[in-house]
Amino acid sequence: MALVTLKEILEDAEKGGYAVGAFNVVNMETAQAVFSAAEEERAPLIVQITETTIGQPGKVTYTPLEDLMGIVNVLAKKATVPVVIHEDHGRSFLSCKRCVEAGFTSVMRDGSLKGDGKTKTSIEENIEETKKVVEYVRKQSRYISVEGEMGTLGEVTDTMTQEERKSLLTQPEDAKRFVEETGVDALAIAFGTKHGPYRGRPIIELDVIKEVKDVVGIPLVMHGGTGVPPDIVKQAVKLGIRKINIDTQIRMAFERAIRELMSEKWNKYIAEMEETLELGEEAMPPKYDLRKILGPARDVAKETIKAKMRLFGCSGKV
Ligand code: G3H
Ligand code: ZN
């Protein structure tokens, strides 16, 4: 099935009142887990690659973009569900440009933070940076969607002052101005979510979703989907969240499976070794086979992703 843009896939989500899962992939097995989950759930799919995996142009971190894209492109060609290939948290214009040139159908220019990924930008800086990417993609021969971010991801705590909450959460009037001046296709907002697990039940400011949705006419995005309790996710989708990002939970599922499989394998080996030594025989060397570890771990990650698709309401939409 041909690739689609974020705009197209989220327009259907808007009409259907559900959210589409956006899942980060880092290698062949996580990519296969994400695609097979979508096939089995008959769900539209947003596959996303983030800079911490491929690095900034000229500075590779875990894997070169072209290597990972080689795998994603092959899987996308075989897919029988609509697929968006999306750059997650693009920290510079060049980073977005490189992904556009590599064939992505959507990019995020995360202008809410400076290039260091920590220091907050002003709304003017954010608008200027994001607009640069929108103007660039609008000159391309094919439509490419752009996701922007207004507000700063981070946990709301009950010890925060009003001021501190205000500086964290997306303000509706800022969101309206940002969308009007940049022309983005989707907007990531801050309403108390953060990347990774939370300390206890998070305080998620659901009102922010409704207030922003009332003033901007484009789909809204939840970052930091891993640790948000299912009941809150469901309310957020009802209020207008149409894209939900999941990264940490895929890694947690994958790593936990590897740990369990490895300890099972070594426990079995040690038991066999003790037995053969008692019999005075040569201890059997352990069987080394990566496929016996990565394969089952891939299946565990796939089941985690399928459960998220069902929670977001996008299962069975294809
Ligand atoms: O951009 C990716 C997501 O925001 C990841 O959030 O690691 O909490 O699932 P998560
Ligand atoms: Zn994120």
Please answer whether residues 56 and 92 qualify as being in contact, where contact means their C-beta atoms are separated by less than 8 angstroms.
Answer: yes
Supply the pLDDT for residue 98: 97
CB 24 within 8 Å of CB 246: yes
- Please provide the DSSP assignment of the chain as one string: --B--HHHHHHHHHHHT--EEEEE--SHHHHHHHHHHHHHHT--EEEEEEHHHH-BTTB-SSS-HHHHHHHHHHHHHH-SS-EEEEEEEE-SHHHHHHHHHTT-SEEEE-TTB-TTSSSBPPHHHHHHHHHHHHHHHHTSSS--EEEEEES------TT--HHHHHHHSPPHHHHHHHHHHH--SEEEE-SS--SS--SSS----HHHHHHHHHH--S-EEE---TTS-HHHHHHHHHHTEEEEEE-HHHHHHHHHHHHHHHHHHHHHHHHHHHHHHHTTPPPPPPPP-THHHHHHHHHHHHHHHHHHHHHHT-TT--
Q: Which ligand 1 atom minimizes the distance to the CA of 248?
A: 7
Query: Tokens 């327009």 — which residue?
Result: 11
For ligand 2, the distance from its centroid to the CA atom of residue 221, given in whole angstroms, is 9
Ligand 1 atom nearest residue 222's Cα: 4
Task: Tell me the CA–centroid distance for residue 169 and ligand 1, in Å.
Answer: 17
Choice among 95-109, 170-184, 228-242, 286-300 with the minimum mean pLDDT: 286-300
* Ligand 1 within 6 A of CB of 308: no
Looking at residue 153, its pLDDT comes to: 87
Q: Is the pLDDT of residue 154 over 90?
A: no
- As a whole number, the mean pLDDT across the chain is 95
Domain boundaries, the chain: 6-248+299-312
> Does the pLDDT at position 227 exceed 90?
yes
- Confidence band for 158, pLDDT divided at 50, 70 and 90: confident
- The 10 Å Cβ neighbour count of residue 282 is 9
- As annotated, the active-site residues are 88
What pLDDT band is residue 258 in, cutting at 50, 70 and 90?
very high
- What are the pLDDT digits (tens) for 193-222? 999 999 889 999 999 999 999 999 999 999
| Record: fold of 6-248+299-312 | TIM Barrel (3.20.20)
